[in-house]
Amino acid sequence: MEVTTQSQHPDSQNADPGNVLENEQGLARQLNSRQLAMIAIGGAIGTGLFLGSSLAVRVAGPAVILTYLMGAVIALLLTGVLSEMAVAHPTAGSFGVYAELYVSKWAGFVVRYTYWAGQAIAVGGEATAVAIYCRWWFPRTPAWMWVVIAASALIYINARSVGSFGEFEYWFSMVKVIAIVFFIIFGILTLSGFGKSPTSGLDNLTSHGGFFPFGIRGAWLALVFVIFGFIGTEVVAVAAGEAKNPGQALPKAMRSMVARLAIFYIGSIIILVAVIPWNQIQPGSDITASPFVRVFAWTGVPAAAHIVNFVVLTAALSSMNCNIYLATRMMFSLARGGYAPAVLGRVSRNGTPINALLISAVGLGIAAVLAYRYSATAFVYMFGIALFAGVFVWLMIFVTFFFFRRKWHVGESGRRLPIRMRGHPVTTAIGAAAMAAILVSSWWVEGMQVTLKSGIPWLIFLTVIYYAWGRKQSAVSSAPVRK
């Protein structure tokens, strides 16, 4: 199969939709709505909840419940704008392509490279979490060993067909869903007086400094950690490029995903801070175990902590699997758009971009090095770096939607989309403002200064690269991409 890119003028502000979308053909459309919905759950539920929640609790105390509610509202707004654009243009480059089509080529370049880098780093963060969970059982083993084992297994899975990836991720995600439901039920029983737990009702929500031990400020700053738990929901839009029937599958997957996430996240975090005093969930500055594991260890249920540790390990592997998929498709999109070497845009016989997969595994190498050198703090550093990419890209998705809605509904297309963002432009503006505020707020969160320290130089670097090289590359015909 050959895909060629038509020549575009280097000074044109926006790309030609026909050319950009045609370039990304070649991926196999094998994902159904059932798999899409679970892939979305798998992309979101991971270390952001099972490990990062301990950081959020440390900043906000019991008020973290309200923080998760705010995060759910922002995620709902994001999925609203993204689903409308994804139905219009179901392609692997997703929001990166939309930014190029409706904002500018620079925006498409920066969004895609930032998201690729963020997902590559997030893969490493998930791998670091895998090492933390495994060392809970085997404390004398080196962290880097678990990173290498997890990386090898998941690269193999992603190298197979996207249908195999979808089915694997479906069952991985199902384990997480069942585990969270069980955790909530178990927590309700514990708070009702069953078991050996020393807790009594909901006293822990108001004891130890009250519901707002750090005030409203603490509840807001915790959103820096909480929003990371929702980042990953955009995987559905990326997967649209390989969906069987994106016009029907995408809206259905989006609607079910956010509702489930809100219930799972808010329900589980209520149980977490109600069962254990919030100031004992993460005793020190280093993360050594999942707070969900601590709940079962606290209640004294035999072997339960080991079962939950296995579940959160599965959750980390699932999210890691999704992150590898996302990074791979974004690099594939960059290559097909002329912003990366053409060899990275080639696909195998089963429709998988193997070369893009291998280059996207760079985060795993970084994770292995950090796990070897800084095993106690590696997760927090990688968390902060990946956070910038996720929040910046979400901000750009909201910004892109302003341009998309203005152009799509004033005559560029006579097609009416089956899904429409409600309350625009007010709801879109609220989402964009929230993401910008979260990004700025990260500077005042302990340990998260790395977010802006790494993110701002990264954007400057990408801008220099774009105007020195990327703009010219997108203006010339790319070499044929062979299957």
Distance separating alpha carbons of residues 452 and 327, to the nearest angstrom? 21
In this structure, are residues 150 and 134 in contact, taking their beta carbons and an 8 Å threshold?
Answer: no
Share of the chain above pLDDT 70, in %: 75
Identify the domain containing residue 226 by its residue range: 29-410+421-474
Q: In a 3-state reduction of DSSP, which class is residue 243?
A: strand
Q: Is 410 exposed, middle or buried (0-12, 13-18, 19+ CB in 10 A)?
A: exposed
Task: Extract the tokens encoding 169.
Answer: 């991720």
| 15 lies in some domain | no
Task: Extract the tokens encoding 193.
Answer: 């007086």
What's the half-sphere exposure (Cβ side, CA atoms, 13 Å) at 322? 33
pLDDT of residue 251: 67
Q: In a 3-state reduction of DSSP, which class is residue 31?
A: strand
Considering the entire predicted model, what is its pTM? Answer: 0.83
In this structure, are residues 224 and 441 in contact, taking their beta carbons and an 8 Å threshold?
Answer: yes
State the average pLDDT over residues 129-133: 84
Maximum mean pLDDT: which of 66-70, 168-172, 176-180, 286-290: 66-70
Q: In a 3-state reduction of DSSP, which class is residue 403?
A: helix
Distance separating alpha carbons of residues 224 and 452, to the nearest angstrom? 12
CA nearest neighbour of 392 among 85, 119, 69: 119
pLDDT of residue 63: 95
Distance separating alpha carbons of residues 292 and 356, to the nearest angstrom? 35
Maximum mean pLDDT: which of 57-71, 168-182, 335-349: 57-71
| 13 lies in some domain | no
pLDDT of residue 3: 33
Helices (H), 89-161: 94-102, 105-137, 143-159
Distance separating alpha carbons of residues 315 and 289, to the nearest angstrom? 14
- C-alpha distances (whole Å) from 356 to each of 23, 149, 166, 326 are 15, 20, 18, 11
Note the pLDDT tens digit of each residue in 397-442.
Answer: 999 999 998 887 554 555 666 677 888 999 999 999 999 999 999 9
- C-alpha distances (whole Å) from 72 to each of 58, 65, 182, 260, 268 are 20, 11, 21, 10, 13
Residues constituting the chain:
483
> Can you name the residues that pair with 243 across neighbouring β-strands?
31
Share of the chain above pLDDT 90, in %: 22
Note the pLDDT tens digit of each residue in 256-273.
Answer: 777 777 888 899 999 888
Higher-confidence position of 185 and 395: 395
Distance separating alpha carbons of residues 250 and 79, to the nearest angstrom? 10
| 7 lies in some domain | no
Listed in sequence order, the residues at least 6 apart from 443 whose beta carbon sits closer than 8 Å to its beta carbon are 449, 451, 452
| 299 lies in some domain | yes
- Enter the DSSP assignment of 418: S
| 480 lies in some domain | no
Distance separating alpha carbons of residues 330 and 119, to the nearest angstrom? 9
Q: What is the mean pLDDT of the chain?
A: 79
Residue 395 pLDDT greater than 90, yes or no = yes
* Residue 19's pLDDT band (cuts 50, 70, 90): low
In this structure, are residues 186 and 16 in contact, taking their beta carbons and an 8 Å threshold?
Answer: no
In this structure, are residues 300 and 275 in contact, taking their beta carbons and an 8 Å threshold?
Answer: no
- Enter the DSSP assignment of 291: H
- Enter the DSSP assignment of 215: H
Listed in sequence order, the residues at least 6 apart from 171 whose beta carbon sits closer than 8 Å to its beta carbon are none
The CATH code of the domain that includes 92 is 1.20.1740.10
Task: Extract the tokens encoding 2.
Answer: 């050959």
* Residue 367's pLDDT band (cuts 50, 70, 90): low
Residue 172 pLDDT greater than 50, yes or no = yes
- C-alpha distances (whole Å) from 404 to each of 93, 407, 414 are 16, 5, 14
| 22 lies in some domain | no
State the average pLDDT over residues 235-257: 68
Higher-confidence position of 274 and 162: 274
| 307 lies in some domain | yes
| 49 lies in some domain | yes
Higher-confidence position of 358 and 16: 358
Residue 302 pLDDT greater than 70, yes or no = no
CA nearest neighbour of 288 among 225, 377, 384: 377
pLDDT of residue 227: 92
pLDDT of residue 34: 67
* Residue 377's pLDDT band (cuts 50, 70, 90): low
CA nearest neighbour of 407 among 49, 99, 145: 99
CA nearest neighbour of 348 among 363, 360, 358, 362: 358
Task: Please give the distance of CA 351 from its chain centroid, rounded to a whole number.
Answer: 23
Count of structural domains within the chain: 1
pLDDT of residue 211: 93
* Residue 6's pLDDT band (cuts 50, 70, 90): very low
For the stretch 338-346, contacts whose Cβ atoms lie closer than 8 Å and that sit 24 or more positions apart, written own/partner, are 338/5, 338/473, 338/474, 338/476, 338/478, 339/109, 339/112, 339/113, 339/470, 339/473, 339/474, 342/478, 342/479, 342/481, 345/3, 345/478, 345/481, 346/481, 346/482, 346/483
